[in-house]
Amino acid sequence: MNLIIDIGNSRAKVVVISGDTLCKEYVREAFDAELLDHILADFPNINRAIIASTRGDEEQVKSIVERHVDTVIVFKPATTPIPLANHYHTPETLGADRLAAAVGAQAMHPECDIMIVDFGTAITIDFVEGGAFKGGNISPGVTTRFRALADYTARLPRCYATHEVLDYGRTTTEAIEQGVMRGVEHEIVGYMEGFLQKNEKKCIIFTGGDAKYFVKRIKNTIFADCEPVIFGLNRILNYNAERI
């Protein structure tokens, strides 16, 4: 039974997986010994764990987990073996979540070239082509764009993501909402058009907290929530545990 610990900028997601079955998910602001005790009370047979974090606290989390779990792996894109070729030139700067999502997406759709769009604090657009992680691009996320308009202008209000689709705003609030949402939409559609033109067997996956706002705006996509990252980390854990 595997413990997947995915610590992002704003929250920690911890998932228990048995085989390929997700047993339970825990979401907290941070990972600590109290949470681990709670998880082990629910699932005492956990014997392997993997840790990925954007906060730089991997070793601290590892010291908590390894007291109770036999095999603990800290996922580092530059050094941790993965079942996918990585063509990124600076793997030491590559976000663990981006590479884990690529591993997970490739395992879910092994016959396809894949474009993965993660709608978070930053929007990442990554590509798996020919069985390898090719890299991708990063731009400001939806919330980041709204915050920038409010913080760096004198009179524009702080606005938020919306499901409403309008051709143009009729108030300043609507103008900001539609400007940001449609701006992201056209940005992603532009990437999709180039990707779809050069690939025959293709798959486009949307994930991340703001993906729900774009699955209806942009067609021919798969909404996967956070499954590619979690599934990828689980696959990386199994891959490395078998090598030990």
Task: Judge whether 97 counts as a catalytic residue.
Answer: yes
Predicted pLDDT at 1: 95
List the domain boundaries for the chain.
1-74, 77-228+238-244
Predicted pLDDT at 55: 86
Each residue's pLDDT expressed in tens, for the chain with a length of 244 residues: 999 999 987 789 999 999 889 999 999 999 999 999 999 999 999 999 999 998 889 999 999 999 999 999 999 999 999 999 999 999 999 999 999 999 999 999 999 999 999 998 899 999 999 999 999 999 999 999 999 999 999 999 999 999 999 999 999 999 999 999 999 999 999 999 999 988 778 999 999 889 999 988 998 888 876 689 999 999 999 999 987 6
Contacts of 132 (CB under 8 A, 6+ apart): 84, 85, 86, 87
Topology match between the domains 1-74 and 77-228+238-244: yes
**Which position among 6, 97, 118, 126 bears the catalytic label?**
97
Confirm if 211 and 225 have CB atoms less than 8 A apart.
Answer: yes
CATH fold of 1-74, please?
A: Nucleotidyltransferase; domain 5 (3.30.420)
Provide the whole-model pTM: 0.90
| Domain 77-228+238-244 of CATH type 3.30.420.40 | yes
